[in-house]
């Protein structure tokens, strides 16, 4: 299994000869090293409806003729853009054929802001995903604050890799992310959702050192990095 980090919260997982991408935000991210039109994948998964997570979802889905998987409200919105969708909700699992995706709770808001008309479209509940394939378990928490649900997930799941936001302001910062990592008990923790904007600037290397001081394996990935697990 190969995991590719595309920056911000965008993670691509290649498994069983296919792939999925979570929260593609490439054209709006100055740190991204790949353009949306270069992404070849078999499914797009969205954790919530903020633009820094859904911006490139429809173009990627349309170009690859693939579904967008999200909560039912966001799925409806994406379908209006002419995209095939799979709507689901927290606690549910979707079998993509090459991988399974279970939607789990996240503490975050979710809405689509229409600046021109000064309206906000409800985007359903924010979430994360537990991805299972090849006997591996990958956790993408989505945007979230600290929650005791994380402790329950860590008790129930044997997580190989956990992607955890550390940016602060909109999500957990490093201190809460460290506690989340302790509860998840993942074999490898990778920080995400930082440095894309000045307000979420963080020292990811310092965070990984804090993880290691607690006996937790951590790794900093920069946009374009790949790992095999």
> What is the set of domains in the chain, with CATH numbers?
2-221 (3.60.15.10)
The predicted model gives 134-144 an average pLDDT of: 98
Let me know: does 26 contact 54? Beta carbons within 8 Å.
no
In the chain, which ranges are E strands?
2-5, 11-15, 18-22, 44-45, 68-71, 85-88, 93-95, 100-105, 111-114, 119-122, 127-133, 136-140, 161-165, 188-192, 226-228
The predicted model gives 147-151 an average pLDDT of: 97
Let me know: does 141 contact 180? Beta carbons within 8 Å.
yes
Q: What are residue 4's DSSP bridge partners?
A: 12, 226
Burial class (CB in 10 A: 0-12, 13-18, 19+), 49: buried
Cα angle for residues 140, 144, 146 (degrees, 5° grid): 110
pLDDT at position 91: 98
Question: What's the pLDDT band for 54 if we cut at 50, 70, 90?
Answer: very high
DSSP 122-145: E----EEEEEEETTEEEEE--S--
Give the pair of three-digit tokens for residue 81: 């853009």
Question: What's the pLDDT band for 169 if we cut at 50, 70, 90?
Answer: very high
pLDDT at position 77: 98
Q: Is 102 helix (H, G, I), strand (E, B) or coil?
A: strand
pTM for this prediction: 0.98
Tokens 């999925």 belong to 20
């Amino acid at each position: 299994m190969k995991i590719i980090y595309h920056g911000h919260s965008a993670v691509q997982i290649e498994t069983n000869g296919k792939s999925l991408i979570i929260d593609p935000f490439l054209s709006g991210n100055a740190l991204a090293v790949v353009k949306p039109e270069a992404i070849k994948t078999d499914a797009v998964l969205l954790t919530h409806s903020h633009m820094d997570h859904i911006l490139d979802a429809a173009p990627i889905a349309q170009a690859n003729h693939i579904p967008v998987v999200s909560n039912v409200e966001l799925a409806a919105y994406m379908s209006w853009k002419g995209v095939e969708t799979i709507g689901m909700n927290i606690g549910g699992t979707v079998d993509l054929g090459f991988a399974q995706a279970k939607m789990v709770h996240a503490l975050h808001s979710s809405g689509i802001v229409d600046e021109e008309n000064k309206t906000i479209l409800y985007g359903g509940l924010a979430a994360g995903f537990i991805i299972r394939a090849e006997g591996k378990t990958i956790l993408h928490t989505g945007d979230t604050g600290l929650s005791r649900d994380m402790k329950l997930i860590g008790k129930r799941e044997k997580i190989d890799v956990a992607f955890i936001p550390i940016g602060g302001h909109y999500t957990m910062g490093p201190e809460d992310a460290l506690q989340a990592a302790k509860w998840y008990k993942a074999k490898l923790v990778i920080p995400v959702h930082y440095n894309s904007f000045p307000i979420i600037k963080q020292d990811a290397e310092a965070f990984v050192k804090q993880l290691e001081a607690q006996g937790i394996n951590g790794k900093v990935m920069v946009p374009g990095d790949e790992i095999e697990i």
